Copies of this chain bind each other. A is one copy, B any other.
Amino acid sequence: MTIHPFIHSLIQTKLDFQPLLLTFKLASITSILLLVIALPIAYWLVFGKFKGRGVVEALIGMPLVLPPSVIGFYLLLAFSPSHWFGALIEDWLGLRLVFSFQGLVIASILYSLPFMVYPIRAGLQSLPASLREASYTLGKSEWQTVVKVLIPNCKPAILTAFVLTFAHTVGEFGVVLMIGGNIPGVTKVASVAIYNEVEALNYPAANAYALVLFAITFIILLLVYSINNRLLRVRQPA
């Protein structure tokens, strides 16, 4: 029996699973926190009364515009204890954001903000106004209306937002590399590990990492979409 050399080299590679675990931990925490943050922002963008919404809307998109490592650079400057912001956080919370997992989470949240906010905003915008009104006439508060009526009825949009954010955080490495400092077990996520292996010209290891990352995320997305398609089947009257 002959084995293709690519597969052979994959099998031979000893993978360090810590970066992979760290990646999915970071992606999960980021996506969940961001969902909590993005929902009120999106809601306010759609239903708020404030005039300057366009400005805020555009600002939210800004993290997309700069190369990740440059955002990482600016965040590094801001998070650093020699900057007032970093100093403040360190004084108040005893937390140093540079080269720490918490810092990665905050950076990922900032960086992925548009991925979460924009699709949810679009979803809320296309709900019929009467749903909200019906809930109000039933005496429900704005909060109950959002939680029980609006959010469940823009599931496809929220799902899209969540998937984009999750996958994007899995693949992100520019920001992470810059403010994380590539510290094993703390900030060395899979994407950075792959990057390192490629830089080290150690392709089999890079391939192996990429494959695992790919496979796990593929399975997650596949599950998500299969469930989604089952739940949200296009209405077909009997």
User: Which of A's residues lie within 8 Å of B, judged by CB?
Assistant: 46-47, 53-55, 57-59, 61-70, 73-74, 114-115, 118-119, 121-123, 125-126, 128-129, 154, 156-157, 159-160, 163-164, 167-168, 170-174, 191-192, 194-195, 198, 206, 210, 213-214, 217-218, 221-222, 224-226, 229, 232, 234-236
Asked, given contacts A194-B67, A194-B70, whether A163 binds B118 with beta carbons under 8 Å apart, the answer is yes
The 10 closest A-B pairs by CB, nearest first: A64-B167, A58-B221, A67-B191, A67-B173, A122-B156, A58-B222, A57-B225, A54-B226, A122-B160, A65-B217
Q: Let me know if B69 and A163 touch, CB within 8 A.
A: no
Q: What is the total number of copies of this protein in its complex? A: 2
Q: Let me know if A58 and B126 touch, CB within 8 A.
A: no
Q: Let me know if B221 and A171 touch, CB within 8 A.
A: no
From B47, B58, B61, B210, contact of A66 by CB (8 A): B210
Q: Let me know if A222 and B55 touch, CB within 8 A.
A: yes
Give A62 to B170 CA distance when docked, in angstroms. 10
Give A153 to B56 CA distance when docked, in angstroms. 24
From B64, B213, B218, contact of A170 by CB (8 A): B64
Give A214 to B66 CA distance when docked, in angstroms. 7
Shortest Cβ distance from residue A203 to the other chain B in the assembled complex, whole angstroms:
8
Q: Let me know if A171 and B123 touch, CB within 8 A.
A: no
Asked, given contacts A69-B195, A160-B119, whether A64 binds B168 with beta carbons under 8 Å apart, the answer is yes
On chain B, the residues within 8 Å of A61 by CB distance are 163-164, 167, 217, 221
Q: Let me know if A66 and B163 touch, CB within 8 A.
A: no
Shortest Cβ distance from residue A25 to the other chain B in the assembled complex, whole angstroms:
15
On chain B, the residues within 8 Å of A59 by CB distance are 218
- Measured CB to CB, the nearest residue on chain B to A236 is B129
On chain B, the residues within 8 Å of A119 by CB distance are 118-119, 122, 157, 160
Give A221 to B64 CA distance when docked, in angstroms. 11
Q: Let me know if B171 and A73 touch, CB within 8 A.
A: no
On chain B, the residues within 8 Å of A46 by CB distance are 234
